[in-house]
Structure 1
């Protein structure tokens, strides 16, 4: 597979969409309430979304 075909693979962009959705969930969940558990869940979701997005971006650049 050439690098251009790898960069244009549909799977990379599906993973990016999922990662962005997880990050947005974390961002919106941060404002769900004043409890510390909401903040912890939001932080975890944002971190997971960021890690998935970075892996997808580096796979595209590879």
Structure 2
């Protein structure tokens, strides 16, 4: 039953919301940024990778 209580913990879902917000921000910067600026592209890529990494880490912690 401890595994079920761990999966239902609020902290996992709060972290997932933050990860999704980071990923959406990366997508927004990708499309809203200047097409000729490499800085916007780098920032967008970093935010997307960071959001995906945090999200996957949270999902795997929920599953285990």
More divergent stretch after superposition (31-40 vs 9-18): 31-40
Q: TM-score, normalised on structure 2?
A: 0.93
Consecutive unaligned residues of structure 2, counting only runs of 5 or more, are none
Q: Alignment partner for residue 39 of structure 1, among 22, 38, 41?
A: 41
Consecutive unaligned residues of structure 1, counting only runs of 5 or more, are none
Q: Deviations over 1:8-57 (max 9, x none)?
A: 00000000000000000000000121111101100000000000000000
Matched ranges for 1:46-61 at <5 A = 46-61=48-63
Q: Root-mean-square deviation (CA), in Å?
A: 1.0
Q: TM-score, normalised on structure 1?
A: 0.95
**4+ residue runs of structure 1 moved beyond 6 angstroms?**
none
Total equivalences in the alignment: 62
